[in-house]
Each structure stands twice: as structure tokens, then as C-alpha cells.
Amino acid sequence: MKPVRFSLRRLVAGMIAALLASMLPLSAGVEWRYTMENPGDGWDKADFDDSGWKTGPGGFGDGKAPGSRVGTEWTTSDIWSRRSFELEKLPARPALLIHHDEDAEIIINGVEAAKFEKFSVYYEIVPLGETGAKALKVGKNTLALHCHQATGGQYIDVHVIDADNLPDLSELATGGTGLASDLITEWGAKVTPENAWRGYPRPQMTRENWTNLNGEWNYAVTTLATEKPSGWAGKILVPFCLESKLSGVGRKLEPFEALWYQRTVTLAPRAEMRTLLHFEAVDYACAVTVNGKRIGEHIGGNLPFTFDITDAAVEGENEIVLRVEDATGGAQLRGKQNLNPHGIWYTRVSGIWQTVWVEEVPARHIESLAISTDIETGDITVEPKLVGAKVEGEKVRITVSEGDKVIAVGDGNKVRVADAKLWSPDSPHLYELKVTLTDGAGTTLDEVGSYTGLRKVGQTKDADGNLRFTLNGKEIFHWGPLDQGWWPDGLLTPPSEAAMVSDVQFLKDAGFNMIRKHIKVEPQRYYYDCDRLGMMVWQDQVAGGANPKWTRMAPNPEDAEWSAEDHTQYMAELEQMMDVLGFFPSIVVWTPFNEAWGQHRTVEVGEWTVKRDPTRLVNIASGGNFWPVGHIADEHRYPHPGFPLDQKRFDDYIKVVGEFGGHGWPVKGHLWDSTRENWGYGGLPKSLEEYKERYRKSIEILVELKKKGISGGVYTQTTDVEGEINGILTYDRKEAKISPADLKAIHAPLFRP
């Protein structure tokens, strides 16, 4: 299988942008002997006596070079280093795994194997030439290097590898393993290949004839240039990403590597039917073959996609192979993922991270549903997207039910419900739908199950002239946590639906009526659970790409410069997110940008979003940079909430504090890594009671801000995440720092008139 075709420029830019932050050494790299004083002639010979040199782990650098994994500090202009390594057999494709500064010389057993004049931006695989390859021998080998640094950050690290059998870079250089913690949730501890995410993944459009492909797949990691793996490294548990504990692998995917998946599935194709292969999310770019036939490619790591595999499928066993590339950088929309996790940036996620499934559908079938409602009339409008050759006389019928009782039936795209019950957080009423496609004779061609809730999102001015949120024509204060949806065992993938429900129910019990889903698209069942439990959602677009200067709410902000290609991809993913999630009544606000992350063409994006979905409100940039577009002006302020209320230019917008709080408290035995700096905003309190008092104080301030015109608040955050310990819950969800009952009592004043 050939590599996925997305531009080399994009890939290299991704490496550079994602790796600008230096990495703290988290584990020992390979030991070297080194000197920073010229050792004179013969230093590179195999029999040279280097016993007087210093020893230290690679790589060598000052921590300022992109992509560096510094084990030993090097700040002089030159370094000479040596080490020995053993080979049981000669590699089939000998190569250097190297990241280097200017003027790097690599010597193997006294023979110059490679020389580099310009610096690299990340680890690269460089095939050894004939001379270097011939210098290798079975048994003990000596590797020597000299590197000169001319300007900027500096770094050098090198390893001899077999390009057909890639090592895990984490085992060679500093930086730790794919998962830095043994922390696990109660749900994660119960995950098995047999029970991993078994539910139907698309609750808004259900069918009975489907097959879940979660479970154990074969996997391999190769270079980007590899056409096909020579073998499989072992088993990986889908839908958990390569780096996660629950995948059973826990290995980082490097930007120079490709990740492969393989499994078989038994199919029984029928005439006049189509077989569809669904991936709910694969990070980032992938290509699929079925039975050796190239089916298609996809770019984008956060949303579902589907391939029609009918022409490749056969009766009996079918082989599926998936190839993935993931640079975790550049304009790639990746959210909080980072190659160098630290601070507010977390472990990368590569490969399949949501459900994979296959279903059989009629040749003429319903591909998707767009549902809208009118609370004044009780009308439910269903616009199905139909694919396949049109059938003469075909029509659509909509059946509306409450439990086992049918309450309305309509032919065409619209049906009216008498005395309709409205959806709200206090009364999350949902109606079940059945959408049937028939031919002219009344024979059913296709049928899907669905549901909806009738509700209307809006805004109004209060007696003091402040714009306020409304739901179903009534003022409502939006109060919720920043919710990032990360898990210690599954990373971006919740260990189960029950785990997701537990989070939402905890927040509901704690007196929140909204969740700000931060820089992540959840599995679709998450939004269904918010629908049925009664939780409004502010949905962020996943961030990535170049940033402008963050000027927050200041006037005259600047936008980042994005290429037309990168902007097109951004807009494609934004539109698809709105298409997929636009179904769910719980989503009431779209947020295209957060804190200037990837913020570009703001007014254009904002105007497009408002026009694309007039049924919801648009918060163009949570925390600024603020541009006069959309419906909401959003300030971020830590640790206690605040807003520039004196500035009249925000009067035409609903004013919210889109992030505040972040009060931290470490709970022993529930930390991602007890040896690292675990932090919260405003410094850590001296006691749990002081932590609780800080929380109460923030809510008291928000209550006063509400009286002055603030219409919503977002507390950071639901759970601890890696080194952030500012969650109300611990990262493993086993301890609540404040009980739901106490939280609800603290929050109660926010909902008083």
C-alpha cells in the first residue's frame, strides 16, 4: 500500500510546529562517552581510549532545538561522542535514526558513514550508503560522532537501526514511553477484547444489520516509505489508540513512522445491497484496502467517515488493512495532543480511536438525516439524504413515538406533534422516530430509527439591556465545566459508554446545566447521553495550525496567516463537525476558535458559521481574540472570574466568562505522575478546605457578575488531566474533591432570578 498522499510541506511544517517546545528528560537515553574539548587525531577509531571522557545519556543539546530529547546538556560549539553497540546479525536495510545540528560527522568502526551540513528539524531515517553499511559487523561495533553548532538551538543524537524493523524511539532517547502512568479507571479495568465499545455508534440513525469490528487487530509500525509491513508486531485493542494503556501497546507513533492495522471479517454480501465500512475516528491521515484492493483515503483525525466496499467484498473471510500517518503538528487539527506533553498539552493519540463497524444497506438507502423542529407548531421536519439510483414513486414516511405508543405519522418530510413536550435540562423529553423509504407500491426500501427533542435556542435583552441566553423563549443562565474528555487509560477514547455517562451524570447531580466540550469531538453516543440526561453543550472546533498573537478582548486583533490549502481543510472539518453533530438537541453553541489557537480569517469563519446553522448561537473565539462577529463575547480569567464590563463594544453580545477557576488540589494515589510538577491556576492551596474555599469564592464572584450582565460561566474543569490537577474529579474519576451535593448547594445562587 502506498503512503497516504498529503503534502510533504504539510508534514514537515507539522513536525516543526509541534516540536518547538523543548522536552524535559523523563527517562534515561542510551549512554555515551563524550567530550566538549577537541580530543585530537584518532578519536574516531574503534580502539581509541575514551575512558577519560565523561558519560551521559543521549541526546545532547540545550533544549531549544525543535524535536530535541535532551538527556545531557551540550552548550559549547562542538561535541565529540562515542559508544559501542552489539549486532546479532547485520540489518537488512541499515540506516541511521538521527536528529542533528550543522556539520555532523558519523563514524562506524573508524569508517565515515555519513556527513551532514545542515540541521534537521526532527528525527529522520537516513539509509546508510554502501561504505557505511559495509563498516557494520556482527558483534561489537563502535559508533562515533562529531557535531558543530553554529547558530540557534543545538542537538545531536544518532542510532544505527534496521529500517525494516523500527525500534521505539522512546526506548532509545529521553522522553518516556507512550503512556507515562499506571492510572486506570474502574471501567478501564473491566475492558476486554469481547466488551470493548459494543454499542451501536450512531444513535441518530440506527439499523439492525451491522457488525462491530472493535476488538483485537494485528498491528505494525514501519517507516513512511514502507509499501507493506513484512510482518505484524502483535495485537492492538481497537478502538483504543496506539499510545494508550487500553490498546495493549502503549507506544508513541513518531512523525517518520506509519501505523498499520489488519484483521479479517466474515461477510455474506447480497445482491442489490451495499456493504459499508465505517470508521468513527482515525487520527490522522489513512488509507484502506479490502482484500488487497485500494478502497479509499481520508484526512482528518476527529470525525467519522465511510467507504463503500461492495466491489471488494467477497463471501466468507475478507481482509481489511488500514495504514495511518500522524505527524501531530502543523495545520493538522489535533486539539491538546502534543509530541512533547507538558503543562496544558497531553500525550499524542495515533490511529483508530473510535468504533469501527460494517453494515449492509439497500442500493437505494438513507445516508443521513437532517432534523429540525418548531416549538410553536410542534412540527418535526426530517430531510433524509438518499443515495443510489432513484426508485419510481418513492416516498418518505415519518413515525413519531413515545415509548410503545405511536403519536404521529406523516408522509413526506414533515410531521406535527400535538401539544408537543419541549426539551430542556430540567425536562429532557425526546421523541422516537422511524424514517421509512418506500417505493411506489409501498414496499419498504430502507428504514432507520432516530429521535429528536423540540427546543429553541435564542437570546433576549433583560430589563437592564443585557443580552441573555434563552431556551424555548425563557432566560437561562449557562453554567458548566470545561470538559476535555481525556482519560488516563484510553486518552481520547473513554473506556466505555458507561464511563462517559458517569461524567455527565456527576455534573448533572452537581448542579451544572451545560458542558463546554473543549477542543474535542466525542463519540456520537456522548451527545445522545447529553440529550437524554438533559445537559446543554457548547461544542468547540478542534484546534491546530499557526496562531496569531493572543490579545484576548483587546480591540484591533490580528489573525494568523493560513494557506488556502490549510484553510480549506479547516473549513471542511468544521462543516463536517456541524453536519455530524448538528443533529443533537443538546448542542446549543458552536465555538470555532479558542484563545487564538489557529485563529485565522475570523470574521469570514464566523459569518459562515452563523449562516450555516441559524438554529444555534456562535461563540467565535472563546477567550479572544475578540472580533465583532457571532453572538457571544467571551473572557477567560484565572483564577477568579472577571469580564471587562466597562467596554460598551460588547453590549451587542451575550457576555460570558468562558474559562475561570482552575483551582488545583492533588489527591495522593490518583495522580497521573506524582514525580512531575502537578499544578493548578493561582498556585496550590495548603489544605483541602482552602481549596474548597477558593472554589466557593469564585462562584460568589460569578454570582455578582451575573447581576451585572454576565450570562454564562465555565469552570476549569471536570477532571484532572495528566499534570493538570484542577479537576473537580481526579483523573481516574475515583475521587470527587467536592461532593455533588455540596457543589449543587454552592451553585444554587447562580440560578436564582
A 10 A CB-CB count for 294 gives 13
Query: For strand 104-108 and strand 139-148, is the pairing parallel, antiparallel, or unpaired?
Result: antiparallel
Say if residue 336 is in the same domain as residue 480. Answer: no
Write down how long the chain is. 753
Quick one: DSSP state of residue 190?
G
Q: Is the dihedral of CA 205, 277, 326, 549 positive or negative?
A: negative
**Residue 702 in 3-state DSSP?**
helix
Domain extent, residue 150, equals 24-172
Q: Confirm whether 13 is domain-assigned.
A: no
Query: For strand 31-35 and strand 54-57, is the pairing parallel, antiparallel, or unpaired?
Result: antiparallel
Which letter, b or e, does each residue of 220-245 get, where b requires 16 or more Cβ atoms within 10 Å of its Cβ? bbbbbebeebeeebebbbbbbbbbbb
Contact (Cβ atoms closer than 8 angstroms) between residue 436 and residue 442:
no
Write the DSSP string, 546-598.
Answer: ------TT-SS--PPP--HHHHHHHHHHHHHHHHHHTT-TTEEEEE-EETTTT
A 10 A CB-CB count for 668 gives 7
Counting beta carbons within 10 angstroms of the beta carbon of residue 412, is it exposed (0 to 12), middle (13 to 18) or buried (19 or more)?
A: exposed
Say if residue 166 is in the same domain as residue 210. Answer: no
Domain boundary among 115, 137, 172: 172
Rounded Cα distance between 396 and 438, Å, is 6
List C-alpha distances in Å: 423 to 375, 426, 430, 472, 531.
10, 8, 7, 8, 9
What pLDDT is attached to residue 19? 38
Q: Confirm whether 346 is domain-assigned.
A: yes
CATH number where 213 lies: 2.60.120.260
Contact (Cβ atoms closer than 8 angstroms) between residue 671 and residue 614:
no
Q: Confirm whether 6 is domain-assigned.
A: no
Tell me how many domains the chain contains.
Answer: 4
Contact (Cβ atoms closer than 8 angstroms) between residue 276 and residue 320:
no
What pLDDT is attached to residue 179? 63
The residues, ordered by sequence, that sit 6+ positions from 208 with a Cβ below 8 Å of its Cβ are none
Which letter, b or e, does each residue of 387-403 get, where b requires 16 or more Cβ atoms within 10 Å of its Cβ? ebeebeeeebbbbbbee
Rounded Cα distance between 61 and 58, Å, is 9
The residues, ordered by sequence, that sit 6+ positions from 82 with a Cβ below 8 Å of its Cβ are 32, 33, 34, 43, 44, 48, 50, 53, 142, 143, 144, 145
The residues, ordered by sequence, that sit 6+ positions from 658 with a Cβ below 8 Å of its Cβ are 516, 619, 622, 623, 634, 635, 636, 712, 714
Residues of the chain with pLDDT under 70: 1-29, 174-180
Cis before residue 717, ω within 30 degrees of 0? yes
Say if residue 351 is in the same domain as residue 402. Answer: no
Q: Confirm whether 183 is domain-assigned.
A: no
What pLDDT is attached to residue 175? 53
Say if residue 448 is in the same domain as residue 462. Answer: no
Contact (Cβ atoms closer than 8 angstroms) between residue 617 and residue 469:
yes
What pLDDT is attached to residue 65? 84
Say if residue 440 is in the same domain as residue 476. Answer: no
CATH number where 441 lies: 2.60.40.10
Say if residue 420 is in the same domain as residue 533. Answer: no
Domain boundary among 417, 452, 487: 452
Domain boundary among 338, 362, 386: 362
**Which three three-digit cell numbers place residue 371?**
432534523
Rounded Cα distance between 738 and 513, Å, is 18
What pLDDT is attached to residue 177? 44
Q: Cα–chain-centroid distance for residue 324?
A: 15
Q: Cα–chain-centroid distance for residue 12?
A: 20
pTM equals 0.89
Cis before residue 527, ω within 30 degrees of 0? no
Backbone phi and psi for residue 375, each to the nearest 5 degrees, phi listed first: -75, -20
Say if residue 462 is in the same domain as residue 475. Answer: yes
Say if residue 164 is in the same domain as residue 302. Answer: no
Q: Confirm whether 12 is domain-assigned.
A: no
Say if residue 345 is in the same domain as residue 396. Answer: no
Rg (CA), the chain: 28
> What is the layout of strands, in order, in the sheet containing 273-279?
210-212, 356-362, 273-279, 305-308
Q: Confirm whether 719 is domain-assigned.
A: yes
Give bridge partners of residue 369 from the DSSP assignment.
Answer: 384
Contact (Cβ atoms closer than 8 angstroms) between residue 160 and residue 136:
yes
Grid-cell match 481574540, residue found: 625
| Type and span of the H or E element at 444 | strand 444-452
What pLDDT is attached to residue 339? 85
Say if residue 408 is in the same domain as residue 285. Answer: no
Backbone phi and psi for residue 40, each to the nearest 5 degrees, phi listed first: 85, -175
Q: Confirm whether 180 is domain-assigned.
A: no
Contact (Cβ atoms closer than 8 angstroms) between residue 476 and residue 455:
no
Instruction: Give the residue from 591, 592, 595, 593 showing the smallest Cα distance to 549.
Output: 595
Contact (Cβ atoms closer than 8 angstroms) between residue 423 and residue 454:
yes
Say if residue 93 is in the same domain as residue 205. Answer: no
The residues, ordered by sequence, that sit 6+ positions from 604 with a Cβ below 8 Å of its Cβ are none
Say if residue 404 is in the same domain as residue 440. Answer: yes
Q: Confirm whether 476 is domain-assigned.
A: yes
